Amino acid sequence: MSFSKTAWAAIEPIYQSILDHPFNRELAEGTLAKENFQFYMKQDSLYLVEFARALAIAASKAQNPDDLVLLLDFSKGAIVAERGLHEFYFAHYGITLDVDRAPGCFSYTNFLIATATHGGYEEALGALLPCFWIYQEVGLHIHKNAKPDNPYQKWIDTYSGQEFQDVVQSAIDLTDRVAARASKEQVARMQEAFVMSTRLEWMFWDSAYRIEKWQP
């Protein structure tokens, strides 16, 4: 069985919790409060910069030149393509990026940067894959269940669209190729990182739903 199939089986309960989270249920229904969505978009903008950094760090560890280029393309895409989505909603709501990372965003991005920097190449890919894959699956699920005239339709279309699906499949294929050559110990660390990132995905949405602030 491929790494991706084994890893997904390990996070299935967490993934179901992500789908069941009120943030995503209300986003699908179009009833999510705009304050929560605005908070989420600001935090996601901050997240994507650090995610791009982590991808670039992972790229520096790739021995295969094609993999290096692919990861750098992912890094550029995180900044260029998805930033357009943020700019659309920032303009739509008349808001600016005027916040720092909340605890959920801080925890997730620090984990990615630390894993990409101090972990092995294999472990870094395991940590980075959920951001691609979870978003695709959530996007597809919400697209199937979204109410008509949803105010968040552009977000839904972005993460359920074919262009993003192609990127995600490339990330899955890369991770599976690397895992197939890895040792049992390396694969175990990849899966641990994959599970942790998935947990942090849940925390990111929960942070937005609670409009999380640092305490004290």
Tell me: the pLDDT tens digits for 33-42? 999 999 999 9
> What digits encode the pLDDT tens for the residues 111-141?
999 999 999 999 999 999 999 999 999 999 9
Confidence of residue 84 (pLDDT cuts 50, 70, 90): confident
Q: Are 201 and 20 in contact (CB under 8 A)?
A: no
Residue position matching structure tokens 């789908």: 19
> What digits encode the pLDDT tens for the residues 175-185?
999 999 999 99
Q: What is the mean pLDDT of the chain?
A: 96
Where would I find the H helices in the chain? 3-20, 22-29, 34-60, 65-93, 103-118, 121-145, 153-160, 162-180, 184-210
Cα dihedral value 185, 188, 194, 200, nearest 10: -100
- Report the pLDDT averaged over residues 85-99: 95
pLDDT reported for residue 101: 98
pLDDT reported for residue 87: 92
pLDDT reported for residue 81: 72
Residue position matching structure tokens 């049992």: 184
Residue 82 has pLDDT above 80, yes or no: no
101: left (phi over 0), alpha (psi -120 to 50) or beta: beta
Domains of the chain: residue spans and CATH: 3-29+45-210 (1.20.910.10)
